[in-house]
Amino acid sequence: MNKNLIPENYNSQNLVNMWRDYIDWDKRRIGEENFLVNQLRKYNVKKVFDAALGDGCDSIYLIKQGFDVISNEIDKIFLNKALEHAKSENIELKTTSLDWRELDKELLEKSFDAVLCLGNSLTYLFTEKNQIDVLNQFRRILRNKSIFIIDERNYQYILDNRKEILKGNFRYSGRYIYCGKKVHNYPVEISDQKVKFEIVDKRTGKKDHFIVYPFKRGEMKNLLSKASFKSVEQFSDFKSGEDINADFYQYVCVK
């Protein structure tokens, strides 16, 4: 494999083992209040491309809800974890293992009714060129009038409050997306170019970290419009509109 195409962030087995407790699968569902399924049904979606399978949380849920899901995971450690979770629930995953920047090598144009890039995943790409290239790749595999759903953390809050946060005062409701109480995370380094998060299992003291690109306020919307989506609707912690105090933002984009 071309080394340049491996994601900037390698996930360790240690990190992946913590992921389910970091999400808290049940609480993720409570926090989103059927947002995902409601959006997919609103647009008559049948075939879904889950671009960032992770440990399987959303793909397994959507398959159980009756959607035809292709789950993509480039990271073998995450992929194996998701397959293990699916097996224990008697669910069969249909998987690909593609770098988002190269979807066109294997996936046909206009072949999905929805593409999902969830769990704050685009943040793993650091340059605007890569981010836009990938959004164009996602858009390419969508049928006309079908939808792309992406989310992001409220990084502007982190950038604006970096001093306080680094002193240990990180405001985070824990009700959305990453809801675990046993495993939690917080920024330990903050700059306009990157944020390093430490992730800790409170029971064992085991730690890991990941480094991500902090989108500024308005930046994601700007990228989505550069990628030529016809319409983009913003949600804040799953409620319509922009709330500067939200933990996460969601965008439903129509091709």
Ligand X SMILES: C[S@@+](CC[C@H](N)C(=O)[O-])C[C@H]1O[C@@H](n2cnc3c(N)ncnc32)[C@H](O)[C@@H]1O
Q: Kindly list the residues in this chain that would bind ligand X in the complex (CB under 6 A).
A: 7, 23, 52, 54, 57, 73-75, 78, 99-100, 118-121, 124
Q: Which is nearer to ligand X, 32 or 75 (CB)?
A: 75
CB 133, min distance to ligand X, A: 10
Cα–Cα distance measured from residue 133 to residue 179, given in angstroms and rounded to the nearest whole number: 31
- Residue 56 Cβ, how far from ligand X at the closest point, in Å? 8
Q: Using CB atoms, what's the residue nearest to ligand X?
A: 119
Beta carbon nearer to ligand X, 49 or 78: 78
Judged by beta carbon, residue 145 or residue 196, the one nearer ligand X is 196
Minimum distance, C-beta of residue 100 to ligand X, in the bound complex (Å): 4
**Cβ(162)–Cβ(156) under 8 Å?**
no
Report the 10 Å Cβ neighbour count for 156. Answer: 16
Is 48 or 74 the residue whose CB approaches ligand X more closely? 74
Residue (13 or 230) nearer to ligand X, CB: 13
Burial of 126 (0-12, 13-18, 19+ CB in 10 A): middle
Residue 234: how many CB atoms within 10 A of its CB? 17
Note whether 141 and 109 are within 8 A (CB).
yes
Nearest CB to ligand X, comparing residues 94 and 145: 94
**For residues 89 and 164, which CB has a smaller minimum distance to ligand X in the complex?**
89
Within a 10 A sphere around the Cβ of 253, how many other Cβ atoms? 25
For the bound state, the minimum distance from the C-beta of residue 23 to ligand X, rounded and expressed in Å, comes to: 6
Cβ at position 167, least distance to ligand X in Å: 26
Beta carbon of residue 178, minimum distance to ligand X (angstroms, whole number): 8
DSSP 1-52: --GGGS-SSPPPHHHHHHHHHHH-HHHHHHHHTTHHHHHHHHTT--EEEES-
Q: State the minimum distance, in angstroms, from the CB of residue 112 to ligand X.
A: 16
Sequence-distant (≥ 6) Cβ neighbours of residue 64 within 8 angstroms: 89, 91
Strand partners, 185: 199
- Cα(195)–Cα(91) distance, integer angstroms: 35
